[in-house]
Structure 1
Amino acid sequence: MTAARAARVVVVGAGVVGLLTALECALAGHRVTVLDRGAIPNPESSSYDQHRAIRTLVPGDPDGTRRMVGAHHRWRELETVLGTAFYRRVGVVTAWPRDRVAAVVSSAADAGVPVAELDPDDLPHLGFPAGSAGVREAQAGVLLARRVLRAAARWLAGHPAVALRPYCAVTAVEPESGRVVLAGGEVLGGDLVLVAAGPWGRGLVDHPVVLRRQTMLYLRPPERLARWWRTAPAVGGLGTDGRAWAVPPGGGTLLKISSDAVCREVAAADCADEDQSPWARRLAEAGVLPDVERYTVVAARACHYTTDPDTGGARLARVGPAVWSRAACGGTGFASAPLVAGRIVNAVTEVAA
């Protein structure tokens, strides 16, 4: 059998999907060029954040659960590959109406995901919706996102088959040929091109997406609760409307709260003129933290991501014979990044066969 040749892969975007795809392609023996309009990693990327929750259970979706279990295992392996500890396995709790908890637990048992029911009184410093209970996934937790991106960039910078090219804006991608045109007129060719540039990739490929903006609050817990928060899990389904998340501090990060209720569709990623204080106030008053006035607000940050208009989530799409596109979708997109990288490696292998 003839060995597969080394393919040329061009990755547009140095967020988590772009960097992990470059890493997996390099591990598979291919040559990779990573382009980004900013630094590598890019602090303006959708995935550049302090931390992201990763869970494995997708209730009612055995295939989705199986895929996320695979992503969870790969994240653990990547700690060894990158030589960096970035996965805090503190568990993830999600709040559910009490009459749905039994079905969620049953779904987890069918998928082989260990969970335990949890009473809201067990997490007294978080605001569960009325009439809800928690389901805790022990084999889940929090990824230290910035640490992941920086470690991946360092690894790629030291690999002989990888070229990192920061501050290289891309003006066009030709889906039929895989030609990538840079702002200065330079043209790169690739056997496969992945466009994973988040909001800035919308004009490069024919992949309809919706641009969204979300405000997040970063807080410092009061001193009397510092020890409690150090071992707290990530928790979703919080607040009076059940739409919020709290990601605990640890590993040098702050406590973060976010909510779908302050997510809005926007026309452009430039939010320099938008006053974040009304959104931050709405988030602080969402009931995520029962005694929020005791916490110190360190920062309010607006982030942007793109979603598929049909599913409202992340989507990997083949937009031409040589070109793939990934819609960046916040925390879910970060957690599932190894799955995208694996799919692209398979596509490259098919090209190189």
Structure 2
Amino acid sequence: MGRHLVVVGAGVTGLLTAVRCARSGARVTVLDVGPVPNPASTSHDEHRALRALDPGDVAATRASAVLHRRWLELESLFGTPFYRRVGVVTGWPAESADAALDVAREAGTPVSPVEPEKYPHIRFPAGAVGLLEADAGVLLADRVLDAAARWLREHPLVALRPGSAVREVDADRAAVHLADGSTVRGDVLLVAAGPWSRELVDVPTVLHRQRIVYLRPPDEPARWWEGAPSAGRIGDDGLAWLIPPGDGTRLKISSAALCREVDEVGDETDRWTDHLALSSVLNDHERYTVTAVRTCHYAVDPDTGGGSLVRIGPAAWARAASGGDGFRTAPVVAERVAEEVAGA
């Protein structure tokens, strides 16, 4: 009988790890307090940006480029189109652009300079140069989760257990105790419950609260937006980012200037139409209709600012990371856990 992996959390990390391990012959049990996939998870969203360029790090850029292939492989495996390869454009000071292009060339990542005027509906910082990463784009996040859950339901080695609230984690024995009094044991355990992982295991994380605004463009530029790239380091302050509408999704905008560190997951009210005007992300922003505002939370490693996989027991791991970076790197984490399951 194959090894048994127990996964706590049906977000993108948990689901993709379950897929990877089941494909390798392991038995997998996925537990989540809600449905699978869980619309309350931090992974659930209309879309996430997928990019590779890290202008300060050739090795990181080269490693991130692998994600492009991993997501294309998953799209093929699930038989569901969820990767919009529209590219990602970022704004950079003119004096920094050449160094960033050098990193891209050395890493083998196709990046080219573009004039910000090519994107007339997006506001870039004064004097910025646009860098377009062609081999990048947008992941339709909700479709990824739905496709992964559908694949797992049909796999004979996988048991999905929605409505399974975890009361306690025994990392030394790779076991979890549920609120109903039962216990689930495995050969390997992965706790991937996003920010809520901190309530179950001792993992070093910093929690941030971010407000996201979703908009509907006016009719006139709607067709232009359908082919527009995702964009980062935009707005007058260079701290905003957007993901374009397309395939039924809406225009999504936020800003690092409006993100703050918090102690716990919770909601708050905010005057987002004022913030949108102040961030000056869009030209003629008053013509856009705000259709929804969402409060989201993401957890990061306090040292790296990313989503580290942490060993919490002899055969137990935790990944509390969430947010855009946690989503795009989930296939690599799944590979790492699969290696641990194989050697358990």
TM-score interval, normalised by the smaller of the two chains: over 0.9
Counting only pairs closer than 5 Å after superposition, residues 1-353 of structure 1 correspond to structure 2 as 6-271=2-267, 274-277=268-271, 279=272, 281-351=274-344
TM-score by length of structure 1 reads 0.95
| Paired residue type of 1:216 | I
Displacement of 1:9: 0.2
Distance, in Å, in 2 between the alignment partners of 1:267 and 1:119 is 41
Contact residue 242 and residue 254 of structure 2 kept, 8 A: yes
Distance, in Å, in 1 between the alignment partners of 2:277 and 2:18 is 38
Where structure 1 has 5 or more consecutive residues not aligned to the other structure, the ranges are none
Contact residue 313 and residue 329 of structure 1 kept, 8 A: no
Count of aligned positions: 344
Distance, in Å, in 2 between the alignment partners of 1:107 and 1:227 is 33
Superposed CA deviations along residues 67-87 of structure 1, whole A, max 9, x for unmatched, are 211111010011110010000
Distance, in Å, in 1 between the alignment partners of 2:9 and 2:277 is 33
Where structure 2 has 5 or more consecutive residues not aligned to the other structure, the ranges are none
Detail structure 1 runs of 4+ shifted over 3 Å in the superposition: none
Contact residue 280 and residue 300 of structure 1 kept, 8 A: no
Secondary structure at the aligned position of 2:123 is classed as: coil
Distance, in Å, in 2 between the alignment partners of 1:118 and 1:349 is 46
Superposed CA deviations along residues 318-337 of structure 1, whole A, max 9, x for unmatched, are 11112111122311111111
Contact residue 195 and residue 322 of structure 2 kept, 8 A: no
Distance, in Å, in 2 between the alignment partners of 1:317 and 1:346 is 14
Percent identity between matched residues is 56
Contact residue 46 and residue 328 of structure 1 kept, 8 A: no
